[in-house]
């Protein structure tokens, strides 16, 4: 490390910064594919039923347990799908270098896409080929899946790629095949990352579940029985008692899941931690301890789980993977023909999408540009407010174990409460203030994004080596100097990662924050989210396609031209080794 000051070593490197690549040909192909998919969805949506009868949502308190069960069931289905996808996708990308060059840039672009902007097209297109209720259920699961999968996939991929070399050498010495390597090395090494990213992904999934359960398109009611539709119905009726009951039930579900699922999972994952000395504070879980002593759990483990693993071990433990025979010329020709046909179909659909976009007048394009600018300002405001409080609070939690034991579980529970559930309560007050919907839109973005930044800051503060903390205390550095030379450089990579995730969440939140139906009235403010919502409500699919593609393009450009240079700066100059 370079010594920038005589008193304290800076966490800084003097490496040359890698150049930032512009949008590549692969990015263009992915954007074309997105445009083609949107066109197909919009084309199908033109044939959607003009009227869809939604379910009757009861505001009776006795219905809340059933609605909570429906919501948890949708979340569980989406999470199971996300975990299966993440393990398969991340494993294949980490072990196949040729596929990695395509799969990881594709994942980078897909995680930049504002998911909520696709919900109207997905719902309307599915309603053409499926009954309305089945279409809404499938769309909700798909929406939650796309909010959870990317985060878990990146975590597993990075873990597999960063398994220490000595552990890989030990696995090779024991002649581990791919199954044993996955079971005894890669999955355990990735366990802690998978556990924490599962918690964050589940918390983010609540936001999108609430949006999917309360979704309507004009005279088409795609609401689903669940906590989201209950809260929306209560807000539309102005029933404050029902709103508080719904929020209270949601908080109770989140606390129960924290105690019964996530804390036991963290307690189990921490046993897989790679360390040479005994750790300090460990996650405690009364339910985990209870399960470990339960007779039924021991019986299931001995009679079901262990025999199943032994069967799989006998079947898949081949230490020398068989090499497939050389591919014949015919399959290779079929492969080339399939690729050419796919490219031709993609270009055809892209041309049709361009023809649909050409029907828009200049005024619509100007409205889209103005909406993008307004939403970008709100996103920046939400990020600035989030950084102002999450950085000091996150550092305090990360460096004080006793404080972390109290505040970190509370932060996890608060992060799991979706902003869309609190939005009706906020609107009761905020719409009467001078800022109106502009203020409430920024607050909704803030509620949906600040937790990503907070947890990354906590992780960054926790990662500061204890010897550097002791050195700064021994040198009696002033607080400002300690932050400048130690804390901020150590936090920089984590803060950039959190900011990227938070900004993506803010763009998504604009869809439901800038166009609100509340208490029988529609409240609209200028923004790209409002443009998408209005286009959906009026069935203007050309405007919906244009606004969605414009948002996707802006988000991808911001990631490549602003966030990627900062990420590379963090990687090159502000990492501890």
**Among residues 549, 573, 553, 560, which one has the least CA distance to residue 118?**
549
- DSSP secondary structure string, 550-567? HHHHHHHHHIIIIIHHHH
Q: Is 156 within 8 Å of 86 (Cβ atoms)?
A: yes
Paired strand residues for 515: 524
pLDDT of residue 564: 74
**How many other C-beta atoms can be found within 10 angstroms of the C-beta atom of residue 203?**
23
Distance CA 540, CA 548 (A): 12
Distance CA 457, CA 454 (A): 5
Which token pair is 333? 């020709």
CATH architecture assignment, domain 59-273: Orthogonal Bundle (1.10)
Domains 59-273 and 359-577 share a fold: yes
Q: Is 225 within 8 Å of 106 (Cβ atoms)?
A: no
Distance CA 357, CA 550 (A): 11
Distance CA 372, CA 544 (A): 14
Q: Compute the residue count for the chain.
A: 577
pLDDT in tens, 479-493: 788 888 888 888 887
Domain boundaries, the chain: 59-273, 284-318, 359-577
Beta strands in 203-286 (DSSP E): 216-217, 220-221
pLDDT of residue 188: 83
Distance CA 127, CA 139 (A): 10
3-class DSSP state of 217: strand
Structure-token match 């490390």, residue found:
1
pLDDT of residue 336: 75
**Among residues 527, 489, 488, which one has the least CA distance to residue 506?**
527
**Among residues 212, 211, 222, 213, which one has the least CA distance to residue 52?**
222
CB neighbour class for 406 (10 Å; exposed up to 12, middle 13-18, buried from 19): exposed
Distances (CA, A) of 543 to 48, 359, 528, 538: 17, 9, 11, 10
Distance CA 436, CA 454 (A): 27
**Among residues 45, 46, 72, which one has the least CA distance to residue 213?**
72
pLDDT of residue 320: 47
Q: Is 190 within 8 Å of 160 (Cβ atoms)?
A: yes
3-class DSSP state of 85: helix
Residue 346 backbone phi and psi in degrees, to 5 = -60, -45
Residue 284 backbone phi and psi in degrees, to 5 = -105, 140
Distance CA 543, CA 358 (A): 10
Distances (CA, A) of 146 to 113, 149, 245, 360: 10, 6, 29, 29
3-class SS letters over 288-345: HHHHHHCHHHHHHHHHHHHHHHHHHHHHHCCCCCCCCCCCCHHHHHHHHHHHHHHHHH
Residues whose CB falls within 8 Å of the CB of residue 107, separated by 6 or more in sequence, listed in order: 89, 93, 150, 153, 154
Determine which helix (DSSP H) or strand (DSSP E) holds 521, and give its type and residue range. Answer: strand 521-524
Please report, in tens digits, the pLDDT of each residue of the chain (577 residues total).
Answer: 344 443 443 444 333 344 445 556 666 776 777 777 777 777 776 676 666 677 788 888 888 999 999 999 999 999 999 999 999 998 888 888 777 777 776 776 676 666 666 677 777 777 777 887 888 888 888 888 887 887 788 778 877 877 777 777 887 887 787 788 888 888 887 877 788 778 878 877 887 787 778 777 667 777 888 888 888 788 777 788 888 888 889 888 888 888 888 888 877 876 766 554 454 456 667 777 787 788 887 888 788 887 887 777 777 765 544 444 444 444 567 767 777 787 888 788 888 888 888 888 988 999 999 999 999 999 999 999 999 998 998 888 877 767 776 787 777 777 767 666 666 667 767 777 766 678 878 888 888 778 878 877 877 777 677 777 777 778 877 878 888 888 888 888 778 877 877 887 788 778 778 887 666 677 788 888 888 888 877 778 788 888 888 888 888 788 778 877 886 776 667 655 5
Cα angle value 454/455/461 (rounded, 5°): 90
Which CATH class for the 359-577 domain? Answer: mainly alpha
Paired strand residues for 523: 516
State the DSSP code for 272. G
Residues whose CB falls within 8 Å of the CB of residue 68, separated by 6 or more in sequence, listed in order: 226, 227, 249, 250, 253
Distance CA 190, CA 196 (A): 10
Distance CA 140, CA 75 (A): 9
Residues whose CB falls within 8 Å of the CB of residue 333, separated by 6 or more in sequence, listed in order: none
Q: Is 82 within 8 Å of 152 (Cβ atoms)?
A: yes
pLDDT of residue 420: 65
Whether pTM > 0.95 for this model: the answer is no
Which token pair is 532? 């998408």
**Among residues 245, 220, 219, 218, which one has the least CA distance to residue 230?**
245
pLDDT in tens, 417-461: 766 666 666 776 777 776 667 887 888 888 877 887 887 787 777
Which token pair is 334? 């079929």
pLDDT in tens, 540-550: 878 888 888 88
């Amino acid at each position: 490390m370079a010594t920038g000051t005589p008193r304290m070593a800076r966490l800084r490197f003097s490496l040359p910064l890698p150049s930032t690549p512009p949008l590549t040909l692969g990015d263009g192909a992915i954007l074309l594919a997105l445009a083609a998919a949107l066109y197909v969805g919009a084309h199908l949506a033109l044939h959607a039923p003009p009227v869809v009868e939604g379910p009757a949502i009861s505001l009776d308190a006795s219905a809340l347990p059933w609605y909570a069960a429906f919501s948890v069931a949708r979340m569980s289905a989406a999470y199971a799908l996300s975990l299966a996808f993440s393990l398969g996708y991340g494993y294949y990308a980490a072990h196949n270098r040729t596929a990695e060059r395509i799969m990881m840039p594709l994942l980078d672009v897909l995680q930049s896409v504002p998911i909520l902007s696709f919900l109207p097209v997905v719902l309307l297109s599915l309603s053409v080929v499926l009954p309305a209720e089945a279409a809404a259920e499938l769309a909700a699961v798909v929406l939650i899946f796309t909010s959870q999968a990317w985060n878990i996939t990146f975590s597993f991929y990075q873990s597999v790629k960063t398994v220490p070399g000595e552990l890989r050498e030990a696995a090779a010495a024991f002649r581990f095949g791919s199954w044993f390597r996955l079971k005894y090395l890669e999955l355990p090494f990735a366990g802690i990352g998978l556990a924490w990213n599962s918690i964050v992904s589940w918390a983010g999934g609540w936001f999108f579940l609430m949006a999917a359960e309360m979704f309507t398109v004009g005279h088409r009611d795609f609401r689903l029985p669940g906590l989201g539709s209950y809260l929306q119905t209560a807000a539309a009726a102005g029933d404050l008692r029902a709103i508080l009951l719904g929020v209270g039930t949601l908080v109770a579900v989140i606390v129960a899941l924290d105690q019964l699922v996530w804390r036991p999972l963290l307690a189990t994952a921490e046993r897989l931690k790679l360390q040479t000395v005994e750790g300090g504070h460990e996650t405690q879980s009364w339910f985990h301890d209870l399960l470990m002593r339960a007779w039924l759990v021991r019986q299931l483990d001995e009679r079901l789980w262990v025999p199943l693993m032994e069967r799989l071990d006998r079947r898949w433990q081949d230490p020398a993977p068989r090499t497939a025979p050389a591919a014949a010329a015919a399959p290779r020709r079929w492969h080339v023909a399939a690729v050419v046909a796919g490219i031709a179909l993609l270009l055809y659909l892209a041309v049709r999408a361009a023809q649909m976009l050409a029907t828009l007048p200049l005024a619509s394009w100007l409205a889209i540009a103005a909406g993008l600018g307004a939403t970008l300002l709100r996103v920046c405001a939400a990020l600035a407010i989030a950084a102002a409080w999450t950085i000091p609070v996150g550092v305090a939690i990360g460096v004080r174990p006793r404080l972390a034991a109290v505040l970190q579980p509370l932060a996890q529970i608060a992060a799991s409460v979706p902003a869309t559930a609190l939005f009706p309560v906020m609107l009761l007050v905020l719409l009467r203030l001078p800022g109106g919907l502009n203020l409430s839109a920024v607050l909704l973005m803030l509620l949906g994004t600040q937790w990503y930044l907070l947890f990354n800051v906590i992780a960054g503060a926790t990662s500061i080596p204890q010897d550097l903390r002791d050195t700064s205390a021994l040198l009696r550095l002033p607080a400002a100097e300690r932050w400048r030379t130690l804390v901020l450089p150590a936090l920089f990579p984590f803060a950039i990662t959190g900011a990227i995730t938070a900004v993506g969440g803010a763009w998504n939140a604009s869809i439901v924050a800038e166009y609100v139906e509340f208490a029988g009235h529609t409240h609209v403010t200028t923004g790209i989210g409002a443009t998408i919502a209005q286009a959906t409500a009026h069935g203007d699919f050309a405007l919906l396609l244009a606004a969605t593609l414009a948002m996707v393009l802006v988000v991808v450009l911001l990631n490549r031209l602003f966030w990627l240079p900062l990420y590379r700066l963090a990687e090159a100059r502000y990492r501890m080794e």
